[in-house]
């Protein structure tokens, strides 16, 4: 069975962005990690075997990281197109 994917918008306390990004990058469920502009500070793409595993990941790992203020989660139902891998080469050819 395919793993579920969840986009997690993460809001961090002031001056903790680097520490939070480092902690998130160490978690195996975090597939992709982006520092962004807009309402939230970080967007993470998280995978889990099922919704129960995601719930455990959220409450036992992600929300225990010092500096995370809150999250908003979006469970992926369908991915008609994707994924896109951003490499240095793709960045330079897009310009």
Q: Give 54: exposed, middle or buried? Use CB within 10 Å, 0-12, 13-18, 19+.
A: buried
pLDDT given for residue 89 in this prediction: 55
pLDDT given for residue 80 in this prediction: 85
From first to last of the 95 residues of the chain, give the pLDDT tens digit. Answer: 688 999 999 999 999 999 999 999 999 999 999 999 999 999 999 999 999 999 999 999 999 999 999 999 999 998 888 776 555 554 444 44
CATH number 3.30.70.920 is the correct assignment for the domain at 4-77: yes
In the chain, domain spans: 4-77
Asked if residue 16 lies in contact with residue 66, where contact means CB atoms within 8 angstroms, the answer is yes
pTM (2 decimals)? 0.85
């Amino acid at each position: 069975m395919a793993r579920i994917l969840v986009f997690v918008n993460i809001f961090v306390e002031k001056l903790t962005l680097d520490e939070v990004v480092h902690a998130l990058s160490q978690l195996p469920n975090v597939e992709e990690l982006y520092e962004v502009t807009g309402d939230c500070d970080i967007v993470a793409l998280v995978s889990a075997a099922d919704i129960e595993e995601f719930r455990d990941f959220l409450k036992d790992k992600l929300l225990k990281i010092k500096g995370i203020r809150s999250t908003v989660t979006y469970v992926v139902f369908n991915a008609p197109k994707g994924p896109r891998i951003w490499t240095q080469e793709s960045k330079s050819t897009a310009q």
